[in-house]
Amino acid sequence: MTQKVTLSDDQWRKVLIPGQFQVLREAKTEPPYKNQYWNNHEKGIYLCAACGNELFGSDTKFESRTGWPSFYAPLARDKVTVTTDTSHGMTRDEVRCARCGSHLGHLFNDGPAPTHLRYCLNSLALKFVKATKDR
């Protein structure tokens, strides 16, 4: 999935539920520990909830004790983009889907080896596809 997805806000509102629109398109953050995937331990792939881009695998997910799903690496470097976020009076690295530009979460340098990175993401920004025997 390398073809870019560009929709207007009105078009995104038609395909996303309100919470997803707030997170993915307005860069809001869902509450910790009250989201779908923070404690998910099943094997599979996490997709962008907006466009279906395959972003992260369960093999790089780890328990960060933050209340949000956290990963130490994406499936491939070109799956996400990282930009500077200066909202809320702080400077952070924002993680976006490289295919549709949707806000996924933030990147921190306090993760485990081998990358020492923590991609701290919103569950509403993700769709989980459970692994099957074929995958």
Residue 23: pLDDT above 90?
A: yes
The pLDDT assigned to 79 comes to: 97
Whole-prediction pTM = 0.93
Cβ 48 vs Cβ 42: under 8 Å: no
Q: Which residue has the tokens 């993401």?
A: 121
Q: Which two tokens stand for residue 86?
A: 């200066």
| pLDDT band for position 46 (cuts 50, 70, 90) | very high
Q: Which residues are catalytic?
A: 120
**Amino acid, single-letter form, for residue 97:** C
Interatomic CA distance for residues 74 and 49, integer angstroms? 15
The pLDDT of 47-59, averaged and rounded, is 97
